[in-house]
Every structure is written in C-alpha cells, then in structure tokens.
C-alpha cells in the first residue's frame, strides 16, 4: 500500500510544479481534478461552475478526489503524491459560506492521507490562467480555511517553505522518510 502525500494550498502556490517535478523523477503522482471538472463544465456551457453552481462543482471534485484516494491506496509504489485532497473541497465551501451535506465531511473522515504539506500563498510565483478564477487576494483569503479544514480532520499540517522546486522536494522527502 502506497503512502498518500497531499500537496494542499490555494491557487498558484507551486503544487502542480512540484507534482510535475516529482513525476519527472519517477514518483507516482495524481493530478488536480478541478481543472478537468472546469473544462467539462465549459464544454457544457458553464464558464465558472464553482461561481455559478458551487455545490455541484464541489460534488464533482469530491467524487474525483475519493476516486484518487482509493486509487492511491491500491498503488504498489512506496509514495503517491496528490495535487490537493478531500478537505480542500470543504475548505472552499466554508470560505464561500456554502452549506453542504454531511457526506462531504464523511468522505474526509473515511478517506485518509499519510502526510499533508500546505503550500502558502506566494505572490512571486502567482499566475492566473484560463481555469483559475481566483486572484492572488483570494489565494491569501483561502489559506486559513485550507489549514483549518485539514486540522478539523485530524491532520498535522506541514507548511512548505517558499523555496526552489528542488529544495521543496528535498524538504518533502526528508519529512516523509
């Protein structure tokens, strides 16, 4: 069974760059599902599903992240790195004061990770793209909600330093053994 390592954080904090770098080094990595949910919604004519239908968007994220957690549990590799985890779905809903059904929290309690690394907002690397509706100010605002969501479900958050990708990778690998 693979240890599940989550890279958590707001938009444009370096999570995807870390996932790509680790994947290039041969590590098993699972990519963020929200980009695909966003692209699928656009094909259906919904420009920003999280803005217009936050509960439906979050339900699709929840389903995708549950599938990823199950897939990671079945991997034979020592580590599986995931670009975001289940508690982040709850964090975004909490941040936007959207009421959600109990099964969201149940999924967070049922499907567990071994380590959580929180990527803090970092203006120097922040970029906006076509799937990202949040500006840097929103990245700063979501940060405490992300930390609180993981803590709510019993995780010890490890804050990732703002550093080069290689140094961040070393930091992560040192912490997970």
Question: Mind listing the pLDDT tens digit for each residue in 161-174?
Answer: 999 999 999 999 99
**Domains in the chain, CATH or no CATH each:** 3-176 (3.40.50.300)
pLDDT at 135: 75
- Determine how many CB atoms are found less than 10 A away from the CB of residue 60: 21
Residues 8-24 have pLDDT tens digits of 998 889 999 999 999 99
Q: Which residues fall within 8 angstroms of residue 24, CB to CB, at 6 or more apart?
A: none
* pLDDT bucket at 49, cuts 50 / 70 / 90: low
The pLDDT score that the predictor gives to residue 131 is 54
Q: Which residues pair with 7 in a beta bridge?
A: 83, 117
Q: What is the pLDDT of residue 93?
A: 95
**Mean local confidence (pLDDT), 77-106:** 96
Residue 101 tokens, joined = 């059904």
Two structure tokens written together for 10: 């707001």
With CA atoms as reference, report the closest residue to 158 among 174, 134, 142.
Answer: 174
Position with higher pLDDT, 163 vs 47: 163
CA distance 38 to 129: 12
43 pLDDT above the threshold of 90? no
């Amino acid at each position: 069974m693979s240890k599940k390592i989550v890279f958590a954080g707001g938009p444009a904090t370096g999570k995807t760059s870390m996932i790509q770098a680790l994947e290039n080094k041969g590590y098993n990595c699972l990519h963020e599902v929200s980009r695909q949910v966003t692209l699928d919604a656009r094909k259906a004519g919904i420009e920003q599903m999280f803005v217009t239908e936050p509960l439906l968007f979050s339900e699709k994220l929840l389903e995708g992240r549950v599938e990823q957690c199950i897939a990671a549990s079945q991997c034979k590799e020592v580590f599986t790195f995931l670009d975001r985890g289940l508690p982040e779905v709850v964090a975004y809903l909490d941040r936007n004061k959207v009421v959600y059904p109990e099964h969201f929290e149940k999924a967070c309690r049922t499907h567990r990770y071994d380590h959580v690394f929180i990527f803090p907002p970092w203006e120097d690397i922040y970029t906006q793209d076509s799937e990202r509706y949040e500006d840097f100010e929103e990245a700063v605002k979501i940060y405490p909600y992300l930390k609180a969501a993981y803590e709510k479900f019993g995780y010890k958050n490890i804050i990732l330093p703002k550093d080069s990708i290689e140094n961040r990778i070393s930091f992560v690998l040192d912490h997970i053994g």
